Structure 1
Amino acid sequence: MITKTETLNPHKWVEAYADYMYTYANARINDEEQAKDLVQETFLAALEKVNSFEGKSSERTWLTAILRNKIIDIYRKKSSRLLNADVEKAEDEQADFFDPEDGHWMPERAPREFGIDNHDLVVSKEFNSILQKCMQKLPALWMSVFTMKHMDDQTTDIICAELKLTAANFWVIIHRTKLNLRACLQKNWI
């Protein structure tokens, strides 16, 4: 039987997992310094919880779960600071996308083809860079919801519970986020 001390090796965590965890955190919060801090906080929290490790997952999975919880805490803090005025302003800016009579796209706002069939790595890096810049322009709550849904593949129920949202609020936020990202990508990518 393998004991907890044989499965965890804190002395090798930084070497084995720091780069992966930094990339994971930075992709979700888009702040290099905060990502570094979160990785350090994760290692400290893991050291405090070594005795609670049950060995049901790998070290990396366990550390990533701790990091994910820390990222969700960041999302909560950012979303709690989000003012209703910011949401209302963003909603007003999006009001001209649809015809109020029939709910269809306004002709000048209708989606256009991105033309990203090419799998060129340079093009992908450029696209990802522009996508990250567009995501930075989103209100904090919107970015959190989008990241949890489309990067972390979290269910709607989990996202709503973690960020204290109703299902209706979630769907409105995700819809408006996609509209904003689409508009930003069309402006900066096409």
Structure 2
Amino acid sequence: MMKQVWKAAACLLAVMAFGVQAQETDWQEGRHYEELATPVTTSTGDKVEVAEVFWYGCPHCYAFKPLIEEWKKDLPEDVEYVGIPAALGRTWEPHARAYYTLQALGKLDQTHDAMFEALARDRRQLDTAEALADYLSDYGVDEEAFIKTFSSFGVNAKMQQAQAKIRGARITGTPSLLIDGKYVVTGSMAGSHENMLKVADYLISKERAE
């Protein structure tokens, strides 16, 4: 009798495990991700673009950061990651400008972590070009060059392109993933940060198949 009980329990656990697995891989449009009625332009040519929309001051983006950085390491050659700093509010704009300024100065890789730590972790008030330049000078950024580039034509153009893309995709929160300009994935849709990346993998495969 006891052996039959154990067998029944084992079968029940197997069914439950299969149900969880099926649920995790059965990603549905309108529930786990959104398909845009009008796709937005991508910048990666023939490659599938995975754009992460983030804000340096967002604690959820800070928590998501190590997950997506690990995930990016295994991206195939026909998939390209793109970072898009959001300016969804006036207080976010200086930080988005800082991203493109650092990119223009060739200092983004050296300062990306520090920007997250200052704004999302430590909640520092770095809301002007001068305050940001002063903070970033400890990381090898020339203050004068930073302030000059902060409001340059090149940075203005990058800002306009990025925010137009965010508006076109109807993204209203961070972190969000925009897959090949067609699909939007958020934590609330997918259920977790980990699931965001699983849904992204599914949508990348979907794009390849098409």
TM-score, normalized by length of structure 2? 0.22
Structure having the larger proportion of residues in helix: 1
TM-score, normalized by length of structure 1? 0.24
Q: Higher relative contact order by CA 8 Å / sep ≥ 6: 1 or 2?
A: 2
Larger radius of gyration: 2
